Amino acid sequence: MAPTEEVVFVTASEDGNHKLREGRWWLVPWWAKEMPKGSMFNARSETADTSGAFKDAFKSKRCLIPADGFYEWTQSPADKGRDPWYIFLPDHRPFSFAGLWAHK
């Protein structure tokens, strides 16, 4: 998935069960008056609870993002370009990672 794509994610419903939802892969902060030009989609675990953009969602809008892999990017020392590294489980088994969601 790439920023602004529609994705599925799992939240807790009011009755305590899991709820499958669909939404856009980015976060519009609660205080935004209009859709931001740049997407916000990577919260850092070290600062998500204090970051103005993510702290509200961190308190009560947590979710699981199903995936079969993800990319990490490094900077090449040789040419200063960005190199993608695709990370996945053996046999490409699916897994979930933590996410935050909000409804605007």
Domain presence at residue 1:
no
pLDDT of residue 49: 83
Residue type, 1: M
Domain presence at residue 89:
yes
CATH code assigned at 35: 3.90.1680.10
Could you give the residue ranges of the DSSP H alpha helices within 1-104? 55-60
pLDDT of residue 38: 64
Tokens in use for 29?
């902060």
Domain presence at residue 40:
yes
Domain presence at residue 76:
yes
Contact 71, 87 (CB under 8 A): yes
For the stretch 35-49, pLDDT in tens is 666 666 677 788 888
Domain presence at residue 62:
yes
Query: How far, in Å, CA of 61 to CA of 13, rounded?
Result: 11
Domain presence at residue 12:
yes
Q: Strand (E) positions, the chain? A: 6-12, 18-24, 62-67, 70-75, 82-87, 95-100
For the stretch 82-92, pLDDT in tens is 999 999 999 99
pLDDT of residue 10: 96
pLDDT of residue 50: 83
pLDDT of residue 86: 93
Residues of the chain with pLDDT under 70: 30, 35-41, 104
> Domain span at residue 22?
6-100
SS3 of residue 53 by DSSP: coil
Total number of domains in the chain: 1
